[in-house]
Structure 1
């Protein structure tokens, strides 16, 4: 199901084009590469006397994003933007169809990783290097995230202004107290599973986890990869330097997923439950733990403030007592790109919108939904100066221990599309116990070999 609305100009008179997407009084406002360039662009916009109309296809937004989009139109009244909102899978499908038909929107919202790579290969994404230099995007970015949005030295997308840690379980501290549980920050999987009898005996369930759409299982796989290897393993699997069925780390992680799936630790019916709905089950006090990224407040009624109990965190259970975390999945899963077939004027308008999203304006708006670190390095470094206060929940040890570790993209977009689809199927089989880790690795390896051309 999609929703559609039009951000119509409050005033139809053209005004000088403001090329900077951040308010001038910000301590880290980006500026054009030169005042002459900004002046030329403004004069061109003013003299034309025409409204530039662009389109943007996005996925379902955070609560405050709609107001944020309206604020952009107020700041840039020379642009008229039509937004069409889709759910993730439908957005990907409709974007692919539109690009093939030559009717793509001006602003695209691909996932960083396989989808963005596919769009770049299709020639659908405009070169953003000049806009990056103009607005200072590279200086505000984390190097590995900027590189993931680039190919062969060309920037094709900018990350959305939120990021999200996983590798964490949120727990109902009131329930833990009721059950007399003293939860360790670093439990092993065996210690975690051992909690099940106490929790179930009191009429609750242990862990909210729903794998209906299959991506949560792939995300969990990625988290466990980071317990046994660095993000280099992901690069090696993608390049073929390491084979899926010749990697001890892959077999260990596949075995871990099977152990969890067969343990009864997941909420009843997890195989046919949507992950967002089981998040709500946790928020309603039915489970002790919830597994999700830091974006979870947008998935429950009332957000963070709508949860009626005290919340704390522990790390995702360790494979064994000697496991040491080697990487993290904190990344720009969503990104914004500009359609290569757009006119120059449309690209200018879209670039201003991208900057508004990535720069401090967008970060502030999205921070209001989830008070956590963003993918804008400069914003993160300026939080205290800006008076932005991190939610204490996201400053607990489960998060702080990850912050200086190497980053990988979220696992459900870190591989070729065909490999991801195979992983989704085989992880379902692993959870169900109908396939061995070795068989799963062989199956994924065969698909990966076709992708690489072996």
Structure 2
């Protein structure tokens, strides 16, 4: 059984590598190593200690290859503070362009860093089954993590009631909008689907994009739209029934949602240059006023930093996507921007838990959001206590948006992000939603394929815990 589980870990890296670029904003990240590999920090490639500094005990954490500014921000706001508070230890971070693949290989050999990064709860399942993550339940009780993390996100990090990881950010889908574009054209922030499509129709008549994003070089961007449509149009309750095996994916509601996504694509609502743009181009167009909306995860705002300056610093806002049909409420579709866990092979679990605890604070979220807004929205129950009005620009927009979302989610209003809740092989079938848009196969064909694959992954225990809506 263990051999089969380890092979599952290795197979899952195809999806994991796909999710990696989305972590930093679809190509926004860069590695400081010339070959895109690890930054050297006095650790061997397998994560074993090779030296200490001044007699200190070395700790390691592997992370995706964020850019130099992001690395400096994380170092200042978290790593340096942790090291100062624990003078007998020295935590260093290795930024790896192939972090998911590297992690799979290292953990399979009972090696790797002390602090483990993974992209989503669904990808963590194989590691947990194989005993590669330390059980954090005792630390959760010690530090009160269950009361500090919003319920659905805490539950998603558990297996059979035991906690194995910490969600480092809330990946919530909604609408990022350019306030200036809306105001200049006499448009209000839409709260209904009819208002939204009306604004997009008018925008396209004026030569603007209805909305903007793109999957050039990164097909996995498709999952943002797949997540949006199955939750906002079919509805979270329908997605929940599919994820728990109560019903098949190919249902009338799901079929209608996928077909609607195709209709929107053909109308240009999902960006008429979708296949030619990445997030960098999308940020440029939205930032320079070429579109009113971006539909997708809130973490996208980290790409707008260059445009939210001077008189444009307050141009951008975020809100929930309108309900797609009668009987469905406006829904915050949620997942994790990433997870942090403790390597079961680490000899320093207690101090690693102290590191995770330091991250689970309003001070950390507000502090890192000043220079890196968008990614580190740790889903805390206390985020509404942060006074966003003391900030400006993207920091203010992000903290306001994430606080609003966390409140709604903690009250039971949420949907299910594909990459967080759908297991790896089934996930690939939802990434293939563009085949429906291009007329290569029907929505029914796509969902039939998803059903065939999902049945096996569900029976293998690869679906993470799926929190139910409502309190």
Q: TM-score range by the shorter chain?
A: 0.7 to 0.9
- Aligned mate of 2:431, from 424, 427, 438: 424
Evaluate the alpha carbon distance shift between residue 136 and residue 316 of structure 1 in structure 2; reply closer, same or farther with a 3 A threshold: closer
Give me the whole-angstrom Cα distance separating, in 2, the residues matched to 1:407 and 1:337: 24
Aligned to 1:220: 225
Give me the whole-angstrom Cα distance separating, in 2, the residues matched to 1:397 and 1:78: 35
Give me the whole-angstrom Cα distance separating, in 1, the residues matched to 2:445 and 2:294: 30
How far 1:418 sits from its partner (Å)?
Answer: 0.4
Q: Secondary structure at the match of 2:170?
A: coil
1:378-428 deviation per Cα after TM superposition (whole angstroms, max 9, x unaligned): 532543599789826765899569453433442222111000012112x11
Give me the whole-angstrom Cα distance separating, in 2, the residues matched to 1:310 and 1:129: 42
In structure 2, runs of 5+ residues without a counterpart are: 1-35, 44-51, 461-471
Tell me the matched-pair count.
Answer: 405
Give me the whole-angstrom Cα distance separating, in 2, the residues matched to 1:297 and 1:184: 17
Aligned to 2:99: 91
TM-score between the two structures when normalised by the length of structure 1: 0.77
- Aligned mate of 1:234, from 223, 236, 239: 239
Evaluate the alpha carbon distance shift between residue 301 and residue 5 of structure 1 in structure 2; reply closer, same or farther with a 3 A threshold: farther
TM-score between the two structures when normalised by the length of structure 2: 0.75
Aligned to 2:110: 102
In structure 1, runs of 5+ residues without a counterpart are: 14-49
How far 1:248 sits from its partner (Å)?
Answer: 2.0
Aligned to 1:414: 421
Evaluate the alpha carbon distance shift between residue 435 and residue 381 of structure 1 in structure 2; reply closer, same or farther with a 3 A threshold: same
Matches within 5 A, 1:292-441: 292-302=296-306, 304-305=308-309, 307=312, 310-312=315-317, 315-316=320-321, 318-320=323-325, 322=326, 324-325=328-329, 327-343=331-347, 346-368=348-370, 369-370=372-373, 374-384=377-387, 391=396, 395=400, 402-403=408-409, 404-425=411-432, 427-441=433-447
Q: Secondary structure at the match of 2:422?
A: coil
Higher Cα Rg: structure 1 or 2?
Answer: 1
Give me the whole-angstrom Cα distance separating, in 1, the residues matched to 2:165 and 2:180: 43
How far 1:210 sits from its partner (Å)?
Answer: 1.0
Give me the whole-angstrom Cα distance separating, in 2, the residues matched to 1:127 and 1:303: 43
Give me the whole-angstrom Cα distance separating, in 1, the residues matched to 2:37 and 2:443: 39
- Aligned mate of 1:271, from 255, 269, 275: 275
Aligned to 1:43: none
Over 6 Å off, 4+ runs: 385-390
Give me the whole-angstrom Cα distance separating, in 2, the residues matched to 1:185 and 1:397: 19
Aligned to 2:164: 156
- Aligned mate of 2:58, from 32, 36, 53: 53
Evaluate the alpha carbon distance shift between residue 453 and residue 194 of structure 1 in structure 2; reply closer, same or farther with a 3 A threshold: same
How far 1:266 sits from its partner (Å)?
Answer: 3.1
Task: Give the conservation status (yes or no) of the 8 Å contact 1:209–1:266.
Answer: yes
Give me the whole-angstrom Cα distance separating, in 2, the residues matched to 1:308 and 1:414: 35
How far 1:156 sits from its partner (Å)?
Answer: 0.7
Task: Give the conservation status (yes or no) of the 8 Å contact 2:122–2:419.
Answer: no
Evaluate the alpha carbon distance shift between residue 104 and residue 277 of structure 1 in structure 2; reply closer, same or farther with a 3 A threshold: farther
Aligned to 2:455: 449
